[in-house]
Structure 1
Amino acid sequence: MAIIAIEYTYDVAQSELIAEHRPTHRAHLRDLHEAGAVLTFGPLGDDSALILVEADSPEAGLNVLAGDPFRELGVIKNANARVWNPAVNPWA
C-alpha cells in the first residue's frame, strides 16, 4: 500500500451548499479514518483540502472517497490524486 495525497478543489460558487454539508462530509471522512482507510485530512485555505489515504494507486485512493457527500453533491471541482512518499513517515 502507498500513501495517496488527494487534493480537493471546491467549487466556491457552491459555498452555501459546502457549508451546509461540511459536517456530513467530515463525519464520513472520520468514519474512513477510524476504519484505517484515511490517514488524515484538513483544509488548504478556503477553496481546497488535502486528504491522505492508504491505497494501491491514485485511482484506488479516489475510489476510497467515492461515497464522500461532497463528491455526491458535485461541489468538488477537481480531485487530484498522486502517490506521496514522505521523508518522515509517522504512519509507517
Structure 2
Amino acid sequence: MSVFAVEYVYAVGSEAARDEHRPKHREFLAELGAAGDGLALVASGPYVDGSGALLLISAPTQAALAETLAKDPFAVNGTIAALRISEWSPVTGELAHHA
C-alpha cells in the first residue's frame, strides 16, 4: 500500500458549484475504502487561499486511485481544473506509520 499526495486545482469561477457539491464531496472522501478496494483517506483539506486542496490517500496503486477520484462529485461537476497525483513516502512525523 502506498500513500499518494493528491493536489486539486479548482476551476476559476467554480466557487458556487463547490459550495453546492461540498457535502457529497466530503461524503465521498469519508467513504473511501468502504468498498474494500484498499483505499483510505489519511487527511484532506482546502488551501487557505481557495485555489485548491491537498488530499493524502492510501491506495494500492496510482491507477486505482485515479479511477476512484474521477467519481468525486467535485470532478464529476467540473470544479477541478487540474489534478496531480504523486506517490509520497512519509518517513518521519505523525503520518510515518502510513509508509
Using the size of structure 1 for normalisation, the TM-score is 0.84
Instruction: Look up the match of 2:66.
Output: 62
- Answer whether contact 2:8 2:52 (CA < 8 A) is retained: yes
Report whether the alignment pairs 1:86 with 2:93: no
Report the counterpart of residue 80 of structure 2 in structure 1.
Answer: 76
Displacement of 1:34 in angstroms is 5.8
C-alpha deviation, 1:77, in angstroms: 0.4
Partner of 2:55: 51
* Cα drift, residue 33 of structure 1: 6.0
Distance in 1 separating the partners of 2:42 and 2:33: 6
Name the structure with the higher helix share: 1
The verdict on how the C-alpha distance between 1:79 and 1:33 changes in structure 2, with shifts beyond 3 A counting, is: same
Sequence identity percentage: 36
Q: Distance in 1 between matches of 2:51 and 2:40?
A: 24
1:41 correspondence with 2:44: yes
Unaligned runs of 5+ in 1: none
Structure 1 residue 62: deviation in Å? 1.6
Equivalent position SS for 1:22 = helix
- 8 Å Cα contact 1:59/1:81 also seen in 2: no
CA distance in 1, matches of 2:55, 2:68: 11
So what's the TM-score if we normalise by structure 2?
0.79
What CA RMSD, in Å, does the superposition of the two structures yield over aligned residues? Answer: 1.9
